[in-house]
Chain A
């Protein structure tokens, strides 16, 4: 099987990640609940992950790193926390449902406003102009994905964060499709950074992170036991424990720690360059085939290692099924981002191909051969 669905989750996980999960299952028990060797190993492991993640993203320290179930969980903590007293959120037209559904739920529950900064696909200038207009209305929170999960567009998030920061507007960066693929740092203006752990960071499913700028206070999303201050009726007043009710996913944390270290050992610029080379190969090959509606940035620097396409003669789901039968793993449909399709004026959905640093050029060539053959056969039979 050729795996081109790394934007859903990276696969197969590196051996070091699998071993770390197994080691944790054998050596770490429950954090903050005891002082036996196994419990202390659990504490040690969680702290190591916080330190590693803080370094990796250039944050201010381990205490600002909250361990979550996934990016959706991290985004919900930040969105629901920042909008706990109502207000308005500014978002791009390329956000995932992990951002949009909490916002629509809040709109229904509390009348929270949603301001959409729409722009054409891959047009940084138009996006920033739209974003700036949105900021003028002084939203309570600005939320932006670093990379579109449908089209791979690397949005100008640094500039957008700086613009929000200059106006004193909290900025939440959704780094789910960027972390581990491209350099993502806690740059000026970023207040919160949310990411999945199981995509570019190579951790197991069920892992995610939320990084907070020091001094930022959010009400907790979940409440419950933290293993300390047990006499208090309320959650601790400071992160990360304030946002971590219940027992942590220790095997997941161990795997995520190993995954981040794996990315660091490969070096991010090398990962980005490799995935970019695969994308270029795909873009040029698809251009030669013709008859395929594809979404590639003219400037290759604006696109990460993922792209969308569809044949004009069949729905994307049918293409994906045929690809699956031929041994390719891809994803078809709206990819949990209906607004992104609307913004790109592509309501039919798409087939998404997403690379990782483990994919090889020969695999892209095999995909191109399949697409060439299908375009020929189906195109002729129309």
Chain B
């Protein structure tokens, strides 16, 4: 299954992202972010499964939920 990593701006935005995705039928959960994505390491990551980058982008933009980056991970996940 395709996996997408969303680097959120903060833990609060990460929670908001998880709820937004879940409410739209997307499986998503909080994860730790690699240091290079979080400027010092952080828990503000969201891992979404079975959905494309474009769809996630659309959802986040339509609800004005800011984020740092959206990174397609393929089927391997964070690794």
Contact = CB atoms under 8 A, between A and B. Distances in A.
A61 B12 CA distance: 11
Nearest to B16: A62
A149 to B, nearest CB: 31
B43 A43 contact: yes
B40 A44 contact: no
A240 B15 CA distance: 13
B28 to A, nearest CB: 12
Contacts of A33: 43
A320 to B, nearest CB: 43
A133 to B, nearest CB: 40
Given A35-B30, A35-B31, A227 B42 contact: yes
A66 B42 CA distance: 20
A32 B16 contact: no
B43 A39 contact: yes
Contact of A32 (B11, B19, B31, B39): B11
A228 B44 contact: yes
Nearest to B66: A238
A236 interface: yes
A342 interface: no
What does DSSP make chain B's interface, helix, strand, loop or mixed? mixed
Contacts of B14: 43
B12 A63 contact: yes
Most chain A CB within a 10 A radius of its CB, from B13, B38, B43: B43
B41 interface: yes
Given A47-B16, A241-B12, A35 B40 contact: no
Contacts, number: 67
Given A35-B30, A40-B30, A236-B10, A228 B42 contact: yes
Contact of A228 (B15, B16, B31, B43): B43
What does DSSP make chain A's interface, helix, strand, loop or mixed? loop
Given A33-B43, A63-B16, A228 B30 contact: no
A53 to B, nearest CB: 13
Interface string A216-232: 00000000001111111
Nearest to B42: A228
A31 interface: yes
A47 B15 contact: yes
B43 A229 contact: no
B14 to A, nearest CB: 8
Interface in A23-73: 31-35, 39-40, 43-44, 46-47, 50, 61-63
Contact of B39 (A35, A232, A240): A232
Interface of A: 31-35, 39-40, 43-44, 46-47, 50, 61-63, 226-232, 236, 238, 240-241
